Every structure is written in structure tokens, then in C-alpha cells.
């Protein structure tokens, strides 16, 4: 029998990508074959994002593209945008941020009702999840962690492992707690089991990911360093050589957290410490629970504990009411901290959040100019940090061989590197390199041949 074809597209964060990988594995085990999104498939699954208005627009665009690719296919909208918005105009099935584990059964049910042959061994009658293509708002807030099973990675050399879902913080601009619900932690056994399986499959670097990973175990009263205890267990798994952490909330980096990080020989010295604004008055309006003084103190402790740690962050420009003075304060604070990489976001009003009804919106031209200024600073800071890596010996994971004959990879501090290909080098190896020259995008390295791992 001809196999049914499933195509996947993911928008948004690493957590979404992880979930799509897990679903892909489920579908392949159920007898589907995965095909590219641009080809003709029987089922298209789009894991949507709603973090900005633009992300929502692109999500719908991909759903419509799927319909054009094969008008008779089943089009499925998954994830945050589908959780909060009616997508019945462009999808046959909508599953929000919970219930993704049921989507295979829903598709098999719909195939059956359409008279198409489903992969027989796995068809088990009527699906019991949501089958209408409407939003599923509210369903996630009381849900338990939904285990989707291990993710199936196609070619990555770095593996993401989801440890939790949801967020309890309700920052004024953020729709995530509405879309993903409250914190639910994955079982430690399942996380460690997946890490061990990844190590057996040859993955040497894992990234702990989630919506708010420092909330791992929070629903059971665990402190923020619980995720570091998890990283300790992971470090004991043979084959795992490097552990990275996803985005961190500043106040979670308690002295105990930093101490556990310092003691873990496999934890890489890269901390993505969410800032959002370097102005205290804007931080207060954003409902962020720290001030720049506290943030500065945490960065100081990290720098005492690690030699030149990579410090990356997210910053929003144009939050409602942001004055020129506040914007300049934000720029100045970012300059003072000396971030090694800055992700700049233009404020995007999300319906249902506190910020959506705040007065004094910042005009698009001003947002644009402030974004350009923040991006220029980001480039300057990155170039300065990269240049300080010249002459340092670094261990890098070779992640991708480019057509121009250079490997791409990252230093432990998350500096992107380029290394000329040479005999004996291949993707997935961890090698020692030395930085030779740099710009704001890359550190160009050499000398790997002498010290292959």
C-alpha cells in the first residue's frame, strides 16, 4: 500500500521545534513518510506561533500555502496561534498547545471518514480530542504536562530536550501564559531517558529547553536551581559532553543556582538572561520583577564564577509609553553589561495582555529608529566580544558544513565560528580551534587538525 505523506512546518521557539520533531517521530512510527512542506502531501501540520502579530500572520500564511500545495490534503494547525485564534478558514483540524498527542488519532479518524486508507495497524477508531478548526483557548491552564515522547531529529548535531511547558509570570506584553497555560514540568525520568537515548544515538550536546526552564518543578514547590540539579544528573550520562541552558529569568539565578552551574563540568558558560528593557521604569510597567541593579549584581556573580561567559539577551523597543530617556537608559544599560548577543524585538501589541490597553503607544517610525539603534549596538558589542576571542583555544561542536567549504559551529560561550573544512573533520565532531580573526557575525578559526577529539 502507498504510504501516506506528512509534511511539517514550525514557526517560533525551540519548544515548538522540539514538539514538531516529537510528532514527526510519532507519524513515521504510524506508517507515514515525511515529505518536504513544499511538495504534495496528504497531511500538512503547521506548528504555529503567536508571540508577535507577524508570527501569527506567517502562521496563517503557511496554513494557506499548505492548502494550495494540495487542496485535498488535511491541513492541521497546532500550537499557540491555534490555541488563541479561530483558524477554521485555513485548517481542517486545530489543536492548541495541549492535546498534540491526540492529533495523530484525529487525522486517522478524518482520513477514515473521508474514505481514505489510513495506515491500518495504527487506526483505532474515533478520535476523542478536538476536531473542529476553532481556537481551544483556556484548555491548557489546568492541564498536566503532555508527554509527546522523544523527538526525532533529522540531522542536527545539537539536540533540544524539553523539560517544562507554560509560564506563571504574566509579563505585561506577553501572550505566552494565555497560549501555553501554567507551568507543567516533564518527569525527570523521561528527561533523563531521552538524554541517554540521544547520547546513544551520538548526540554530544544537549540544550535544556522550555518556556520558562527555571520554573522546572515549580508546581511541586521546587526552587529555581532544580533545573541545575537536573543538569547535574544529565552530566553523568556517558556520551553527553556539553549541556546548554535555554532562556533564563534573571531572578532565578540565585547564588545556589550559579554555584551548581560552576560545579557542573559539562555546563557551557553561556547564559541567555532575559532583560527586555534596561530602564527600571519600563521594567516596572512590563511587570518584570527585577530592577537593573539586581540584574547587574547577577551578571557580576556570573563573571566572578566564569571566565568571559557568553551573555545573551532579548530586548523590546517601543513598549507603550517608552520615552526617549527610557530608551537611552536601555541602550546605556545594554552597553554597560556588554552582551555578547542581543535579540531586538519591536513591541507588538497582543490582544488580551495588559500592555494592549496601555496608553501612549510608540509610533512605528520611532520604534523603527530605536530598533536600528539597538541593533547597531548589538553588532558593536558582538564584534567587541568576538575580537576578544582571537588567540583563545576553544572547543567547538562542528554543526554544519557550508557549500563554501567552511564548517559552522559555536564556542562554549555561543560565539558562532567558521572553520575551513579539512580531511578528518566532519559534522558532529567536537574539536579544539583557535580564533584567528573576527567580525560581528563570526569568529574565523584554524588549527583544528592538530587536536581532533
Binding site for ligand SF4 (CB under 6 A): 167, 169-171, 174, 176-177, 211-212, 249
* Least distance to ligand SF4, CB of residue 211, Å: 5
Rounded to a whole number of angstroms, the minimum distance from the CB of residue 207 to ligand SF4 is 17
Smallest CA-to-CA distance from 161 within 76, 236, 246 is with: 246
In the bound state with ligand SF4, the residue whose beta carbon lies nearer, of 287 and 387, is 287
Task: Decide whether 257 or 306 has the Cβ nearer to ligand SF4.
Answer: 257
**DSSP label of 212:** S
User: What minimum distance in Å lies between the beta carbon of 71 and ligand SF4?
Assistant: 37
The cell numbers describing 206, all together, are 544537549
Nearer to ligand SF4, 169 or 291 (CB): 169
Nearest to 107 by CA among 116, 378, 141: 116
The Cα–Cα gap between 367 and 327 comes to 10
Q: Closer CB to ligand SF4, residue 195 or residue 248?
A: 248
Provide, rounded to whole angstroms, the least separation between the CB of residue 283 and ligand SF4: 12
Q: CA nearest 215: which of 176, 241, 242, 189?
A: 176
Q: Is 9 helix (H, G, I), strand (E, B) or coil?
A: strand
For ligand SF4, the closer of residues 39 and 351 by Cβ is 351
* Backbone φ and ψ of 127, nearest 5°: -75, 150
Q: Please, which residue, 173 or 203, has the CB nearer to ligand SF4?
A: 173
Rounded least distance, CB 183 to ligand SF4, Å: 9
Pairing of strands 93-95, 43-48: unpaired
38: burial class by Cβ within 10 Å (0-12, 13-18, 19+)? exposed
* DSSP assigned state of 200: H
What is the SS3 assignment for 177?
helix
Q: Which is nearer to ligand SF4, 153 or 272 (CB)?
A: 272
CB of 174 to ligand SF4, least distance (A): 3
Shortest distance, CB of residue 170 to ligand SF4, whole angstroms?
6
SS3 79: strand
Count of CA atoms in the C-beta half-sphere (13 A) of 421: 12
Amino acid at each position: 500500500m502507498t504510504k501516506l505523506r506528512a509534511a511539517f512546518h514550525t514557526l517560533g521557539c525551540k519548544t515548538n521545534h522540539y514538539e514538531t520533531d516529537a510528532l514527526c517521530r510519532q507519524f513515521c512510527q504510524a506508517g507515514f513518510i515525511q515529505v518536504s512542506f513544499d511538495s504534495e502531501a496528504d497531511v500538512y501540520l503547521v506548528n504555529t506561533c503567536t508571540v508577535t502579530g507577524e508570527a501569527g500572520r506567517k502562521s496563517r500564511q503557511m496554513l494557506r500555502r499548505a492548502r494550495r500545495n494540495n487542496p485535498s490534503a488535511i491541513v492541521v494547525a497546532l500550537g499557540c496561534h491555534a490555541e488563541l485564534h479561530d483558524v477554521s478558514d485555513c485548517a481542517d483540524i486545530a489543536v492548541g498547545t495541549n492535546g498534540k498527542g491526540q492529533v495523530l488519532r484525529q487525522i486517522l479518524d478524518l482520513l477514515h471518514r473521508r474514505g481514505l486508507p489510513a495506515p491500518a495497524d495504527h487506526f483505532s477508531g474515533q478520535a476523542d480530542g478536538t476536531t473542529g478548526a476553532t481556537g481551544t483557548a483556556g484548555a491548557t491552564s489546568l492541564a498536566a504536562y503532555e508527554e509527546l515522547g522523544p523527538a526525532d531529529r533529522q540531522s542536527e548535531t545539537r539536540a533540544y530536550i524539553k523539560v517544562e511547558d507554560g509560564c506563571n509570570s504574566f509579563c505585561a506584553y506577553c501572550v505566552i501564559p494565555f497560549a501555553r497555560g501554567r507551568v507543567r514540568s516533564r518527569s525527570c525520568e523521561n528527561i533523563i531517558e531521552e538524554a541517554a537515548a540521544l547520547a546513544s544515538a551520538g548526540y554530544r550536546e544537549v540544550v535544556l529547553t522550555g518556556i520558562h526552564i527555571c520554573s522546572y518543578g515549580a508546581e511541586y514547590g521546587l526552587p529555581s536551581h532544580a533545573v541545575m540539579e537536573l543538569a547535574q544528573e544529565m552530566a553523568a550520562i556517558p556520551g553527553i559532553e556539553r549541556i546548554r541552558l535555554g532562556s533564563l529569568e534573571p531572578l532565578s539565578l540565585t547564588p545556589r543556582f550559579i554555584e551548581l552551574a560552576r560545579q557542573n563540568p559539562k555546563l557551557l558558560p553561556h547564559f541567555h538572561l532575559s532583560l527586555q528593557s534596561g530602564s527600571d521604569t519600563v521594567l516596572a510597567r512590563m511587570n518584570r520583577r527585577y530592577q537593573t541593579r539586581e540584574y547587574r549584581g547577577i551578571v557580576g556573580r556570573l563573571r566572578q564564577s566564569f571566565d568571559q561567559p557568553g551573555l545573551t539577551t532579548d530586548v523590546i523597543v517601543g513598549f507603550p509609553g517608552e520615552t526617549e530617556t527610557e530608551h537611552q537608559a536601555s541602550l546605556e544599560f545594554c552597553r554597560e553589561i556588554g552582551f555578547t548577543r542581543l535579540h531586538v524585538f519591536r513591541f507588538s501589541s497582543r490582544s488580551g495582555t495588559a500592555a494592549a490597553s496601555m496608553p501612549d503607544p510608540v509610533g512605528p517610525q520611532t520604534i523603527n529608529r530605536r530598533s536600528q539603534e539597538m541593533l547597531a549596538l548589538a553588532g558593536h558589542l558582538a564584534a567587541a566580544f568576538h575580537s576578544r576571542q582571537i588567540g583563545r583555544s576553544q572547543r567547538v561542536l562542528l554543526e554544519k558544513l557550508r557549500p563554501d567549504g567552511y564548517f559552522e559551529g559555536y564556542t562554549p560561550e555561543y560565539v558562532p565560528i567558521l572553520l575551513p573544512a579539512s580531511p578528518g573533520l566532519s559534522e558532529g565532531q567536537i574539536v579544539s580551534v583557535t580564533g584567528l580573526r573576527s567580525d560581528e557575525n563570526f569568529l574565523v578559526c584554524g588549527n583544528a587538525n592538530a587536536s581532533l577529539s
